[in-house]
Amino acid sequence: MQDTHQLRCTGCARVIAHEDLKENFRCAECGDLFEVEYPAWSVQAGTSAKRNFPNPSALRWLWKERRTSTDLKDQSGVWRFRDLLPILRDEDSIVSLREGNTPLYALYRAARATGIASLYAKHQGMNPTGSFKDTGMTAALSVARERGFAWVACASTGNTSAAMAAYAARAGMRSLVLIPEGKIAWGKLSQALDYGALTCQLRTDFDGCVRVLAEIVRRAPVYLLNSVNPYRLEGQKTPALEIAEELDWRVPDHLIVPGGNLANSSALGKAFLEMKHLGLTDRVPKISVVQAEGANPLYRSMQANDGQSITPVEAHTRASAIRIGNPASWRKAVRVVHASGGWVEQVSEAEIALAKAEIGAEGIGCEPASAVTLAGLKRFIGAGKIEASETVVLLLTGHTLKDSDYTIQYHRGDLLRDDELTTLRSEIDSTRRNTVELEADVDQVLRALERAAQ
């Protein structure tokens, strides 16, 4: 890998060298966020002469070959695609937990129920710390290590902090986590503790944690690992490459992604645009973003002014991973939705809970924030936006064990209030599988079995 990248501001298009990046990753001129570009070949640089383009067939072959290698960087589902993310000077800087190479599952039941025959889930919850954050974390934390930082830090709704803590521990670095007190799932908090992060629970929400951290990075030599860090997004491009590879380089018609801080949708969009630009694929899927109704600033912005401006909201949803009212990367997400012809949708708490149960019933499972994708798909079908013949991929972002409290409350019937159930009550009831408490008695268990079989 060479030092071949520069950074372009997504607001005013100013290009800077990576040494000139400020500690908050914002443009000194306009305050917007940067994106990594590779002058030799990237879309943004607008290279007209194709002489520096890598050969698509050779790349496809190389990426597949690397899966059989015993070298750690080849075994990583992020770094085996390192030709499209040359952000490090030295490959020895790589910090990897063998992230990526996650499964693309066919969703048979949901396909039958929705009428979409080719329906898949790309399960990023099957990463080492149980969420999609690992693919971005291996990239940005390796950069932090290469640049000599001792401390890394993030504000988080839980998954970023779990991933950061693990990768920092792996690299022998220290990590500072700021999380909203009482507002993240226990599984995620336990991971930050387990991996040894300095874990500060602040009496505020996620957006409040972001504000505090902005001041910390100005005053202390810590490297910021929130998704405003453009290197995170280079790692988060790789699930898009895997999806294309797993579908024999035929791009799906539609990719549906949950929206929180809105970085992931933009990373995947960047990847699909780059793949097409390089001739690896012949088109870009529609990329749609789905938010929870109570944490829907992008949805509101698209309705009000087609994504020209955004008004922060006070966020409320049980899908705690996406309980974000003031998303940092909203402008990047708007660009991807517009460039790909996708849409932005919102879904209710009951729709999220039902969709999560349905994904669980496939034997796959996911955390609540991931289930907005299936709930959103149903809305798109209802609005006539997606046809039965289309190939659709749902991006599942987190593992079902991240938030087991949510699942247990759902099946016990304690999760949703009556006024939230509305028209979905009977569908939700039919998916609930409450445990039965019995004496240690064979006949009692046999009776339960008979009842269940009826």
Residues that bind ligand F0G (CB under 6 A): 131, 133, 156-160, 227, 258-264, 321-322, 367, 369-370, 397-398
Residue 282 beta carbon to ligand F0G: minimum distance, rounded to whole angstroms: 27
Minimum distance of ligand F0G from residue 134's CB (angstroms):
11
When the beta carbons of 9 and 185 are compared against ligand F0G, the nearer one is 185
Q: Residue 254 has what DSSP assignment?
A: E
Q: Are strands 198-202 and 222-224 parallel, antiparallel or unpaired?
A: unpaired
Dihedrals φ, ψ of 357, to 5°? -65, -40
Q: Which is nearer to ligand F0G, 75 or 301 (CB)?
A: 301
Minimum distance from residue 64 beta carbon to ligand F0G (Å):
28
What residues pair up with 81 in beta bridges, in sequence order?
none
- Decide whether 133 or 277 has the Cβ nearer to ligand F0G: 133
Shortest Cβ distance from residue 202 to ligand F0G (Å)?
A: 13
β 15-16/6-9 pair status: antiparallel
Q: Nearest residue to ligand F0G, using CB?
A: 260
Task: Using the minimum distance from each CB to ligand F0G, give the nearer residue, 75 or 320.
Answer: 320
Would you say 93 or 204 has its CB closer to ligand F0G?
A: 204
Structure tokens at 449: 């079995």
Smallest CA-to-CA distance from 401 within 79, 127, 91 is with 127
Which tokens sit at 37?
Answer: 């570009």
- State in angstroms the smallest separation of the CB of 452 from ligand F0G: 32
Task: Give the shortest CB-17-to-ligand F0G separation in angstroms.
Answer: 26
Q: What's the closest the beta carbon of residue 132 comes to ligand F0G, in angstroms? A: 7
Nearer to ligand F0G, 142 or 326 (CB): 326
Residue with tokens 């990373």: 267
Greatest alpha-carbon pair distance for the chain in Å reads 77
For the CB of residue 310, give the shortest distance to ligand F0G in the complex, in Å.
13
Nearby residues of 453 by Cβ (< 8 Å), 6 or more positions away: none
Q: Which is nearer to ligand F0G, 280 or 319 (CB)?
A: 319
Provide, rounded to whole angstroms, the least separation between the CB of residue 173 and ligand F0G.
Answer: 19
Sequence-ordered list of residues with C-beta below 8 angstroms from that of 303, at least 6 positions apart, any chain: none
The first and second tokens of residue 181, run together, are 């007190």
Which is nearest to 175 in space by CA: 218, 245, 101, 226? 226
What's the closest the beta carbon of residue 66 comes to ligand F0G, in angstroms?
27
- Cα 374 from Cα 360, distance rounded (Å): 12
Tokens of 334: 């708007």
228/248 Cα distance (integer angstroms): 32
Q: Which is nearer to ligand F0G, 155 or 280 (CB)?
A: 155
CA dihedral 60, 340, 24, 304 (to 10 degrees): -170
Of the two residues 44 and 397, which places its CB atom closer to ligand F0G in the complex? 397
* Cα 144 from Cα 150, distance rounded (Å): 8
- Helix residue spans in 319-433 (DSSP H): 330-340, 349-360, 368-382, 404-412, 418-421, 425-431
Residue with tokens 């899927």: 285
User: Do the strands 198-202 and 286-292 form a parallel or antiparallel pair, or are they unpaired?
Assistant: unpaired
Backbone angles phi, psi at 34, to 5 degrees: -100, 160
What distance in Å separates the CA atoms of residue 408 and residue 215, rounded to the nearest whole number? 38
Which CB sits closer to ligand F0G, 259 or 285? Answer: 259
